[in-house]
Structure 1
Amino acid sequence: MASVKIDCVVKEKYSVGESPVWEEKHGTLLYVDAVEKNVYRWNPTSNQVEKVRVDAPVGAVVPRSSGGYVLATGKSFASLDWEKKVATDIARIDNEKPNIRFNDGKVDPAGRFLAGTMAMETRPGELERHQGSLYALQPDHSVVKHFDQVDISNGLDWSLDHKIFYYIDSLCFTVDAFDYDLQSGKISNRRVVYKLEQEEGIPDGQCIDSEGKLWVACYNGGRVLRIDPETGKRIQTVKLPVSKTTSCCFGGKDYSDLYVTSATKRMDEESLRREPQAGGIFKVSGLGVKGIPPYSFMG
């Protein structure tokens, strides 16, 4: 077993750091702060962080094949011109529920951008159940709604043969799988591949590695789990020095580093003293496995 090393590489205290994605073209890590309405780009070589502020909570950022980025923000899919620092709506979701916002999202191997919604909190830590849905922004900018009755739409990724879609609705405390038809984008046959144990916390973001195993960030669990979706077994646990781990992605030159985002939201002063690196971004190296490059939105 390689020796695993964990470094806090971005020491900002983000409220809810989320949706990390490696951008090969610039050798940078993209991510968002969902609550602070910011999109970030961190360059490991220069250690510079650039940011663009948008006008709604932002759940996810993804690269776009024609340049720039696409966001899932508020109730819209929007394009982001980084140089001009301007976000422009591509499509809004026609959801009758006023109190929802986009959360995590990712691009599928055919270039569609899938992202789901959740209810906004009514009081700290409380939200209305079953208000969210999962949507796909198609390359022609139309929007498909896959299903509703979601609590907190979260981590998503695809198997290496693109036939299985993995998905997390956080308050189910499971990682689920669907059959995925890449050509049509249709999903079916939902089943559970892993149920979290109590001390593992709440499943949040996830990503797949080049061996087809899933890495799941556990909110309030301070860890990332490596899961074999075929056997439903946990293979490895990587514990981090912060409890509110939110999401993860592979990156770096050969995709051998795992980047993990975290949050400080609703942490009191005592908790922040106990976890001085809370809200930072961590690089986990020496795992002995690699990730795969992310897909770009084709529209």
Structure 2
Amino acid sequence: MSLHRVECVVKGGALIGEGPVWEESHQTLMFVDIAGKKLHRWNPAANQIETLETDDMVSMVVPCRSGGYLAGIGRNIVAIDWSTKDITLLAEVDEDKPNNRLNDGKVDPAGRLLVGTMAKEEKPTVLERQQGALFSVASDLTVTKLLSPVDISNGMEWSLDHNIFYYIDSLSHKVDAFDYDIHTGSIGNRRTVYHMEEGEGFPDGMTSDAEGHLWVACYNAGKVISIDPSTGVRLQTVILPVSKPTSCCFGGPDYSDLYVTSARLGLSESESRLQPLAGHIFRVRGLGVKGRPSTAFSR
């Protein structure tokens, strides 16, 4: 059992902090504020944060091999030059669903971007549910729909041997697995590896450690849990001082730090008073595990 400690490291007060990714080349943490329409890059060594504002909801950001970043803004996949702040449209998804937006995204071990969509509404009605999908974006920007319908496309991760893709559709209250063909990016044989238990809220963003265990942010439950996807056993629980953790990633010089984003949108006035750190970024140390470097988009 780990003797971990939780500290607030970035007091950004995001409406919906999301999509953390550790950028090894700069030793920085990238993350977004979806409803705040902002991308952030935080340097822990200098405790400095840089921000890029956008004109629509920004759902995810990942580094590119050639430099710069790929981000999801509205329903668009865009390229971002951080030095010039130029934003270039590359591709659009869900063209026939203007009320959708992109949500979580992650690069697979081969360099493809997997990214999902959802209805724009925070609490979609029955008619607005099942409007999302999961897409794969190749290096040549070819977009392929992998899965639909989806309620709220969220966390993604791969097994150590790259043969299994783990995926979260938040309103299903579970973590699913698919067989994954790393050569083609195709998925199949869907099955469930973990059902959220009472008091664990909605599964949101997700990462994995060097042992292949999954770490899942539990939205509305104020915790991050670690699970063994091969057995469905919960291994560790990290309690946070906020109720809406949204996602997590490992980072730091040796990848032993777990960074957790959170949201304050949707809190009542009384809940906001009780959670002054809502929307901030947290760092968890002493977990006894390390993460793995993320993969850059192959462009």
**Could you tell me which residue of structure 2 aligns to residue 41 of structure 1?**
41
**Could you tell me which residue of structure 2 aligns to residue 265 of structure 1?**
265
Residues in 2 aligned to 1:95 and 1:89: alpha-carbon distance in whole angstroms: 14
**Could you tell me which residue of structure 2 aligns to residue 19 of structure 1?**
19
Matches within 5 A, 1:82-161: 82-121=82-121, 125-127=123-125, 128-161=128-161
| TM score, norm. by length of structure 1 | 0.98
* Equivalent residues of 1:264, 1:279 under 8 A apart: yes
The Cα of 1:184 is off from its aligned counterpart by: 0.5
**Could you tell me which residue of structure 2 aligns to residue 287 of structure 1?**
287
The Cα of 1:269 is off from its aligned counterpart by: 2.1
The Cα of 1:276 is off from its aligned counterpart by: 1.2
The Cα of 1:95 is off from its aligned counterpart by: 2.9
Give the aligned residue type for 1:69. Y
* Equivalent residues of 1:242, 1:278 under 8 A apart: yes
Q: Deviations over 1:117-161 (max 9, x none)?
A: 00011xx63341100000111011111110111000000010010
User: What's the secondary structure of 2:296's corresponding residue?
Assistant: coil
Give the aligned residue type for 1:117. T
**Which segments of structure 1 move beyond 3 Å, counting only runs of 4 or more?**
none
Residues in 2 aligned to 1:87 and 1:137: alpha-carbon distance in whole angstroms: 18
User: What's the secondary structure of 1:136's corresponding residue?
Assistant: strand
User: What's the secondary structure of 2:272's corresponding residue?
Assistant: helix
Q: More displaced, 125-134 or 190-199?
A: 125-134
The Cα of 1:94 is off from its aligned counterpart by: 4.5
**Could you tell me which residue of structure 1 aligns to residue 228 of structure 2?**
228
RMSD of aligned residue pairs (Cα, Å): 0.9
**Could you tell me which residue of structure 2 aligns to residue 252 of structure 1?**
252
The Cα of 1:54 is off from its aligned counterpart by: 1.6
Give the aligned residue type for 2:119. A
**Aligned residue pairs, count:** 297
User: What's the secondary structure of 2:199's corresponding residue?
Assistant: helix
Query: Structure 2, unaligned stretches of length 5 or more?
Result: none
Q: Deviations over 1:68-94 (max 9, x none)?
A: 100122111110110111211111114
User: What's the secondary structure of 2:96's corresponding residue?
Assistant: coil
Residues in 2 aligned to 1:57 and 1:298: alpha-carbon distance in whole angstroms: 24
**Could you tell me which residue of structure 1 aligns to residue 187 of structure 2?**
187
User: What's the secondary structure of 2:13's corresponding residue?
Assistant: coil
* Equivalent residues of 2:94, 2:100 under 8 A apart: no
Give the aligned residue type for 2:226. R
| TM score, norm. by length of structure 2 | 0.98
* Equivalent residues of 1:30, 1:41 under 8 A apart: yes
Residues in 2 aligned to 1:59 and 1:72: alpha-carbon distance in whole angstroms: 5
Matches within 5 A, 1:165-180: 165-180=165-180
* Equivalent residues of 1:77, 1:137 under 8 A apart: no
* Equivalent residues of 2:23, 2:63 under 8 A apart: yes
Give the aligned residue type for 2:263. A
Query: Structure 1, unaligned stretches of length 5 or more?
Result: none
Residues in 2 aligned to 1:27 and 1:107: alpha-carbon distance in whole angstroms: 18
